[in-house]
Amino acid sequence: MNKRFFGTDGIRGQVGEYPITVDFVLKLGWAAGKVFQEQGHGHILIGKDTRVSGYMFESALQAGIIAAGVDVSLLGPMPTPAIAYLTRTFRAQAGIVISASHNPFQDNGIKFFGADGFKLPDQVELDIERYLDTDIATSESIDLGRAHRVDDAAGRYVEFCKGTLPYRFTLAGVKLVVDCAHGATYHVAPDVLRELGATVIELGVQPNGVNINDKCGSTDLDLLRETVRETQADVGIALDGDGDRVLFVDHLGNIVDGDELLYIIASFRHTNGTCSGVAGTLMSNFGLEKALAELGVPFIRTRVGDRYVIAAMRENSWDLGGENSGHIVCGDLTTTGDGIVAALQVLKAMLDSDKTLFELKEGMHKLPQVLVNVPVKSSIDLEHDAVTSAVSKAEQRLAGSGRVLLRPSGTEPIIRVMVEGEDVALVDELAGDIADVVVVTHSQSAG
């Protein structure tokens, strides 16, 4: 049975357009409540990022869950990984995140964590969808759930993040810039870094409901790069709107992406004998795979999406995985991608090795990689003759020194065209050629 609403990262879309509507989210809350209510009276946490629509959907979810007879704890604006962590520590049956991650404020979404802090299994998501096909039946008044706000959620998470580092570890003498994207980390990330001793310059910490991810954070590093250079900071840290992604900028203003950060953490752990293997994705740069092979560290690729990375990590009993977008999962420390926790691991590698971020990333040579996002209004057959022919021609021109990947985004209505190879001019040309064919093919099929 295929899921109708849940994608690779929950349910996401534009606010006001089905299914991201108040009535649907109300029923989703009730459906989720019913599924977890079957396991007992139940207790569900709800957190959100800083989008203005989050208040609306928080109320809708709360009403639906309470109608199903399940208690609710409201966390307020909190990073996605914080909700995963607090779900475990509160021994709740589930945690719900209201967020569209790196998307603009006009979008929003709903994603779930189970009692173990991991994303829900497919079967539980299917069970929730099954209840969406039935009418809401409100519990008797005596059996209604109750709601309360958790006042110390941010403090609990700050202490957790600091606790992922050894006792006595300090960032004293480190000057850094942190960009919180006017998102869910605005009131926790600077505190974590400052309480560890760093000198912190803050960006993106004034959310107003509509400026999340707007020319800031991990989706736009220009301001961070400029600020790092102007202030002569040691590094810059860019988080996304819900705090599960992180990218860095070195002291020269160079961007250090998720693949390079994953390599830095893996290399440091390998030196200390604590890296058994790394899980990446189809989008991971071939340079990462090659660099890890030179270290003797096993590497496998999964489908794009942190749920697939985490599944591969658990299957192989590995503690490290991630994506070039900045989703980095340290499985020995937490259960999901955590931008702050991953950033601390990078900073620890810098200080313990007494090397700059620029020096640490030099161990990995990235192949030029061009990604073109092609907007689509409907599904497109990527096995269409014109598309497969364009891909075949591109692969022939790469002559075994690169690769081509086409895939639909799991969170946005776009087709991602990725070409990787040694010659950046050729890679750019081929990506553009394939993208043009996808545009024409989609136009013809839509017409």
Q: In terms of DSSP H, where are the helices of 281-423? A: 286-295, 306-316, 339-353, 357-361, 385-398
Q: 131: which 2 tokens?
A: 């209840």
Q: How far is CA 145 from CA 22, 75, 112, 185, 441, in A?
A: 20, 16, 19, 29, 51
Q: What is the DSSP letter of 317?
A: T
Q: What angle do the packed helices 339-353 and 80-89 form, to 10 degrees? A: 100
Report the distance separating Cα 119 and Cα 171, nearest Å: 32
- Amino acid, res. 7: G
Distances in Å between the Cα of 345 and the Cα atoms of 34, 148, 265, 424 are: 39, 34, 7, 31
CA distances from 51 to 56, 183, 207, 209, 230 (A): 10, 8, 8, 4, 30
Closest by Cα among 113, 98, 91 to 40: 91
CB 227 within 8 A of CB 204: no
Give the closest residue to 156 by CA, choosing from 93, 83, 101.
Answer: 83
3-state SS class at 359 = helix
Q: Coil, strand, or helix at residue 403? A: strand
**In this structure, are strands 299-302 and 278-281 parallel, antiparallel, or unpaired?**
parallel
Given the residues 99, 101, 267, 284, the one annotated as active site: 101
For residues 149 and 158, give the distance between their C-alpha atoms in angstroms, rounded to a whole number. 18
Q: Quick one: DSSP state of residue 366?
A: P
User: What angle is formed at CA 275 by the lines to CA 274 and CA 281, rounded to 5 degrees?
Assistant: 155
Q: Using an 8 Å Cβ cutoff, are 96 and 46 in contact?
A: yes
The end-to-end CA distance of the chain, in Å, is 31
* Cβ–Cβ < 8 Å for 302, 282: yes
101 in catalytic set: yes
The torsion angles phi and psi of 94, rounded to 5 degrees, stand at: -160, 160
**Separation between Cα atoms, residue 98 and residue 101, nearest integer Å:** 9
Contacts of 142 (CB under 8 A, 6+ apart): none
* Residue 29 backbone phi and psi in degrees, to 5: -60, -45
Write out the catalytic residue numbers: 101
